[in-house]
Amino acid sequence: MTETPHEVARDEETGTAPLPSTADLERMYWVMVTTTLADSRAQKEAKAGKLQAAFYPVRGMEAVCAALGAVLEPRDQFVSTYRNLGDVVAKGVSLKSIMAELYGRVDGVSKGKGGPMHLQDDSVGMTATTGIVGSGLPIAAGLGIAAQLDGDGKIVAVTFGDGATSIGAYHEAMNMAALWKLPVLFVCQNNKWAEHTPLAEYTAAPEFAQRAASYGMTARKVDGFDPIASWRALSDAVHSIRSGGGPVFLEFETYRLTGHTGTADYSYVPKDELAQAMTRDPAPNFRTWLIEQGLVAPERLDAIERDAESSVAEAFSYAESRPQPDADQLHEDVFADKKLVLDLL
């Protein structure tokens, strides 16, 4: 399935978006299932020692990722964090190139030299991912300044975990974006854990949307397990930003359904909390809702699942079969080309 630009029909009186199109609903489900399957397989590969770097699962956040992919246009820029699998799949990065990068292979999206923390593909607007907590926000602010100067209607989306809200760069970027009314969409994926520390133990102000509003920007809290609520909030936010309304902050409440990394123990997570969160597992619940609402036939969802399973299997098989970068390629793409820099100046 591929990403296509689209216009969302809005209610003339309220200005809000109703429901995604059938095509968007189907793609959202494909993104969620594909992310869940690829995440599970990547965790197994990490535990087997087959990957070149640590893998950071996204289980529990599939709905937010899918909804975000459905509202952004290919021209929009995206900055993600190290927990990025759902983001890059949703933005349209090739699944084969994603998996090849996880294995450190030459055909990876970053030529096998960046690993899962550094997935980047300008062809679909996946501008950057970063392994430093909170560092994506100032990058997004900088891109937002460029987009504002270009005046082409492009927006910049940046995702980050709840733990990033305690980082200084977060506050600096939020203040700058609000002050200069930058076209930036701040997406906080609140999964309740900052690595191994629960939310209540690292902040005395857990209402992140309320805190964001204090900067002078629109801010909302959203049920991140609900793909339709997520889509509506994101669609409204994107519409507002493109209309010149300045930055928007959305806090998506979800729960991390796995450990911090693909190999990490997570016995410290309260069993009752995890069990309750698992009842809201995004992809299975979305399938049930689509059928109950009569929006997508079960047979069509079955076909989407088969396509996702096939895509994931092919991507991992492809990744394992590709060679690693040669030693003489280690310094390529590391230093800027002197002539190119002089030309730019």
Residue ranges of domains in the chain: 22-344
Positive or negative: CA dihedral 171, 175, 176, 181: positive
Report d(CA 183, CA 208) in Å as an integer. Answer: 20
What CATH number should be reported for the domain whose range is 22-344?
3.40.50.970
pLDDT, one tens digit per residue, over 102-123 is 999 999 999 998 888 999 999 9
Our CA angle for 133, 165, 145, nearest 5°, is 80
Expressed in angstroms, the distance from the first to the final Cα of the chain is 40
Residue 280: other Cβ atoms inside 10 A:
17
How are beta strands 126-129 and 156-161 bridged, if at all? unpaired
pTM, to two decimals: 0.91
Residue 15: other Cβ atoms inside 10 A:
11
pLDDT of residue 4 exceeding 50: no
Report d(CA 300, CA 294) in Å as an integer. Answer: 12
When pLDDT is cut at 50, 70 and 90, the band that residue 158 belongs to is very high
Cβ atoms of 227 and 28 within 8 Å: the answer is yes
pLDDT, one tens digit per residue, over 302-338 is 999 999 999 999 999 999 999 998 888 878 887 766 6
HSE of 274 in the Cβ direction (CA atoms, 13 Å)? 13
pLDDT of residue 2 exceeding 70: no
Percentage, residues of the chain above pLDDT 90: 83
